[in-house]
Amino acid sequence: MIRTSRMVLACLSASAITLAAQPRPDFDLVIRGGMLIDGSGVKPVRADIGVRDGRIVRVGVIRNPKAAEAIDVTGLMVSPGFIDVHTHADDIAEHPRAENFVRMGVTAVVAGNCGSSAADIGESLATIKQTGVAVNYATLVGHNTVRRAVMGTVQRPPDAAELTKMRGLVWKAMADGAVGFSTGLQYIPGAYADIVEIITLAREAAAAGGLYASHMRNEGTEVEKAVDEAIRVGRSAGCPVQISHLKIDSPSRWGVSAKILEMIDAARASGVDVKADQYAYTAGSSGLGIRFPAWALEGGEAKIAERLNDPPTWARIKAEMKDLYTQRGFTDLAWAVVATYRPDPSLNGLSMKQVAAKLEGSDSADAQLEAARTMMLKGGASMVYHFMGEDDIARIMKHPMVSVASDSGVLTPGEGVPHPRGYGNNVRVLGLYVRERRVIPLEEAIRKMTSLPAQQFKFANRGLIKEGYAADLVVFDPVTVGDTATYDAPHAYATGIPYVIVNGVVVVRKGEHTGARPGEILTITKTGGTRNEERVGRVDRVIGRSAEGVSIWPSPIMRVGAELARRETVVRVGADLGRPEQQFVGATHREADRVG
């Protein structure tokens, strides 16, 4: 077939004369001798893979290949590249090698999660495309980003004009190439939004074919209510729901994951496409501010300081913080460990118990809360929280609709003591949960890293090893693949991943980053660019055909809303959007670098 079409081309094209003089190999790359796990969930089979122009063009036995490069992977496994749909890789243009991701087999990341994204999606995607990055990249548009741009951090519902502006911003972000709408309902100002606001904005994403991804309002004491809210948003907005970093974060609620998964199954049976993602660790990571009551964090840094410095108000805040952790089954904050505290890096890696001893001269529960206050007054910190149980992790992992996703940002080796998931998540699943504990079979783990997330995020021609699909591939050693990053020493790369290929280009060769940057921008329907005009045209066509089949709003109104919001945003950008990390609870530093 290929030969015939080349002959036809040769007849048609004058430039083919040059080709004929110096025949191009059949393949740019051939991967031979491996066991192939194609991403669909079926058992591995022995097969070779031929790659040309960034695509998989042959799967099967390739004898005597004429290839520019042939890699013998006898004894190793080959799978599709891992698609990490829950990341905070928004600043990838500043770290284009994305080495922590690519070294654990990740070939595509989705940023813009937990309600936090670039303010201008089109501009951000253009920058990333221009810079060139090692992995494929897609982004959601974040609710906190949009709300902050229009309303700042006030705790009240939007008025009609504000809601129209927010709708306009989400509409524009989708037209610019976002793949959906995300919330971070435990963060400021997302925590101040009610479900009506969220549904209204999620409908914008739905109209453009996007999904709704949610860092829910609660992941422990009231997790059932939070899951119910996420499902209702999907049902009313008419879009798929992705529950982000599904977990049970309170010892007092450990075990309730069984009920949560039943809720997801019931919603799916009733027609709402609910899925989830998960990282494979018993600790989470987020800002220190998430431990404070939401009302205490309204209005920005100065207001927060005012409350923390007013003794009666601080007493009230402290009492609520104590109530919150008591309800969750804790007696103090010893489970909270500092990841990055910029004013005093000597605290990095210490638990709040150790921090309290150092800062307050006592490690009592009260001293720990006082230390948290001190740190908040200096801009907060990025934290690692040890609060999950292994049984819940295994139960969630076994659910067929739960993808594997890291919740990590692009990490800089040696910087701070971040959560190890950014270096180890995928390979930890393969090493610890598949090989050692046998929680799920290997082919199922690979499906959860590849075709499952590709389907949910509508990445066409990704996530399977199949002819015509993009050549995003991982070669791994099933015997040695694993994580070496630990909570104490997280800056350590995965083992057992000798080759990673992105769009047909080798990015990891013999375990080392080649420096190549073949990543593409992924959108809902196509790869290779944001294609604003096409997307806008597509949005125009789908407007008026919501899931309920009724017209929601005519596009000219949305254009006006977008323009109004854009104008105001430009003014605000200098004031408070210049540091997008401020979207997270009360942060002045990059406390929420790694969230969730």
Cβ-proximal residues to 512 (8 Å cutoff; 6+ apart), any chain: none
Q: Which stretches within 458-554 are classed as H helix?
A: 532-542
Residue type, 551: S
Contacting range for Zn ion; rule: CB under 5 A; set: 210-218, 356-364, 447-455, 520-528: 210-218
* Angle at the Cα of 144 from the Cα atoms of 289 and 179, rounded to 5 degrees: 130
Query: 110: exposed, middle or buried (C-beta count within 10 Å: 0-12, 13-18, 19+)?
Result: buried
Question: Which of 114, 140, 243, 337 is the binder for Zn ion (CB under 5 A)?
Answer: 114
Question: Which residue from 505, 407, 517 is spatially nearest to 95, judged by alpha carbons?
Answer: 517
Least spacing, CB of residue 368 vs Zn ion, in Å? 24
Least spacing, CB of residue 57 vs Zn ion, in Å? 39
Is residue 241 classed as helix, strand or coil in its secondary structure? strand
List the structure tokens of 87: 């990341």
Choose between 59 and 381: whose C-beta lies nearer to Zn ion.
Answer: 381
Helix or strand holding residue 284 (H, E): strand 283-287
Residues 249-308 that bind Zn ion (CB under 5 A): none
Number of residues this chain uses to bind Zn ion (CB under 5 A) = 4
Number of residues assigned to the chain? 596
List the structure tokens of 195: 């479900």
Residue 527 per-residue DSSP state: B
Least spacing, CB of residue 182 vs Zn ion, in Å? 9
Considering the rule CB under 5 A, would residue 595 count as an interface residue with Zn ion? Answer: yes
Helix or strand holding residue 49 (H, E): strand 48-52
Least spacing, CB of residue 66 vs Zn ion, in Å? 48
Considering the rule CB under 5 A, would residue 592 count as an interface residue with Zn ion? Answer: no
Choose between 158 and 596: whose C-beta lies nearer to Zn ion.
Answer: 596
Contacting range for Zn ion; rule: CB under 5 A; set: 215-223, 367-375, 376-384, 517-525: 215-223
Question: Which of 95, 203, 215, 535 is the binder for Zn ion (CB under 5 A)?
Answer: 215
Choose between 114 and 440: whose C-beta lies nearer to Zn ion.
Answer: 114
Contact between 200 and 208 under an 8 Å Cβ cutoff? The reply is no
Choose between 186 and 450: whose C-beta lies nearer to Zn ion.
Answer: 186
Least spacing, CB of residue 482 vs Zn ion, in Å? 26
DSSP bridge partners of 180: 211
Considering the rule CB under 5 A, would residue 470 count as an interface residue with Zn ion? Answer: no
Question: Which residue from 81, 205, 174, 213 is spatially nearest to 595, judged by alpha carbons?
Answer: 213
Helix or strand holding residue 72 (H, E): strand 67-72
Give me the residue whose beta carbon is nearest to Zn ion.
596
Choose between 215 and 291: whose C-beta lies nearer to Zn ion.
Answer: 215
Choose between 73 and 141: whose C-beta lies nearer to Zn ion.
Answer: 141
Q: How many CA atoms lie within 13 A of 127 on its CB side?
A: 13
Contacting range for Zn ion; rule: CB under 5 A; set: 104-112, 131-139, 213-221, 267-275: 213-221
Contacting range for Zn ion; rule: CB under 5 A; set: 60-68, 114-122, 348-356, 489-497: 114-122
Least spacing, CB of residue 348 vs Zn ion, in Å? 21
Contact between 148 and 155 under an 8 Å Cβ cutoff? The reply is no
Considering the rule CB under 5 A, would residue 230 count as an interface residue with Zn ion? Answer: no
Choose between 172 and 215: whose C-beta lies nearer to Zn ion.
Answer: 215
Residues 174-203 that bind Zn ion (CB under 5 A): none
**Residue recorded with tokens 């501009």:** 123
Contacting range for Zn ion; rule: CB under 5 A; set: 113-121, 313-321, 346-354, 543-551: 113-121
CA distance 173 to 118: 10
Residues 117-136 that bind Zn ion (CB under 5 A): none
Considering the rule CB under 5 A, would residue 421 count as an interface residue with Zn ion? Answer: no
Least spacing, CB of residue 245 vs Zn ion, in Å? 6
Considering the rule CB under 5 A, would residue 596 count as an interface residue with Zn ion? Answer: yes
DSSP character string of 87-114 = ---TTGGGSTT-HHHHTTTEEEEEE--T
What are the backbone dihedrals phi and psi of residue 543, each rounded to the nearest 5 degrees, phi first? -60, 140
Choose between 197 and 249: whose C-beta lies nearer to Zn ion.
Answer: 249
**Three-state SS letters, 454-480:** HHHCCCCCCCCCCCCCECCEEEECCCC
Residue type, 192: Y
Give residues in contact with Zn ion (CB under 5 A).
114, 215, 595-596
